[in-house]
Amino acid sequence: MMKCLLALSLLVGACGGNYSNEDIDFQLALPERQELTVKLPNAVQLEDSAEYYKWTRGTVVTFNYMTAAFLGLIDAVRAYPATERHPGVRVWGPFANDKHPAWVVRVTIIQGEQKFLYLVEYNRAKNPLREWGKLITGEYSPRGGVRRGAGSFDLFLLPAREVGYPIDGLDDIDELHIQHQTLAYPVTLSMQIGYPAPRTMASYDYSENMDGSGAMRFKFPTDSPGLSELELRSQWKGSGIGRADATVTRGNPLVVGWKGVDCWGLDTRATYKHRDWEPAKDTGDPSSCAFGPP
């Protein structure tokens, strides 16, 4: 009888695997890297590139860096089969943090009515915290194809930093919120970044059309005297030519509402430049500007 039980247990033990359609649904319920990437044509920068182009490009690099940090945390979901399977729930991990082995991370995805909710948590590998720390919460509503949907996620860095969880490369950010949709053109991507006091929130809105043209609007606090906040609205065509309109939105009442314009060509150099505060220094031809003269 014991031999029979042993043989049976060996047989049962040899069964199983990750062959699951539901797992695929969960794995597809996460935004793809390209969905969270701002694409700026001719993203080269020369020493004499237009000033607002440089600002735009710098913002795009920062933006993409932020989303990449998020995607890195959930890459395990794509790389490995689920560790736990429950009805409507999948859990990946805990996995050791590659760079910081004293910490472990786990990812939980919950299937809701029309959307998937996901949660990235952290804990110490030894002497674990009483409760797992919440690092990312998000949701995603997949529609109409692979990774085509709408969703959002929030990254809570301040409480993680307070318990010692290492946040590489995001040391000066307290929180991050992203909304994205790829259901129809223009696809949109928005980000809000919370900075430590006295700075406040910075917001970025990006849209992308089917022909490769796009636009980005971002407000960001500045350290310049009398200039608390600037808004820059950049637009570009699929060929790479574009323009950016800057507006002072907060600060010294005397300068609030002042505008500046940069237009650039295929080589990203300015074809027209205007600053309300330096009207005598206008350069170029305003008719060269994409999307009409300023």
The pattern of x and - marking residues 76 through 115 that bind other proteins according to CB under 8 A reads --xxxx---xxx----------------------------
Say whether 127 sits in a helix, a strand or coil: coil
- What is the smallest separation between the CB atom of 118 and other proteins, expressed in angstroms? 15
Residue number with CB closer to other proteins (11 or 254): 11
Taking CB under 8 A as the binding criterion, the range among 21-29, 64-72, 102-110, 157-165 that sits at the site for other proteins is: 21-29
> What is the per-residue DSSP string for 198-214?
T--EEEEEEEE-TTS-E
**Exactly one of 6, 22, 44, 129 binds other proteins (CB under 8 A); which one?**
22
Q: Which stretch binds other proteins (CB under 8 A): 72-80, 103-111, 176-184, 220-228?
A: 72-80
CB of 77 to other proteins, least distance (A): 9
Q: Judged by CB under 8 A, does residue 23 bind other proteins?
A: yes
Alpha carbon separation from 134 to 118, 159, 283 (Å, rounded): 11, 8, 51
* Residue where the block lists tokens 């060269």: 288
For residue 147, count other CB atoms closer than 10 A to its CB. 16
Q: Which is nearer to other proteins, 13 or 292 (CB)?
A: 13
CA 266, CA 127: separation in Å to the nearest integer?
Answer: 57
Alpha carbons 168 and 70: distance in angstroms, whole number: 11
Alpha-carbon distance of 238 to 35, in angstroms, equals 18
Of 28, 61, 119, 201, the residue at the interface with other proteins (CB under 8 A) is 28
Contact between 4 and other proteins per CB under 8 A? no
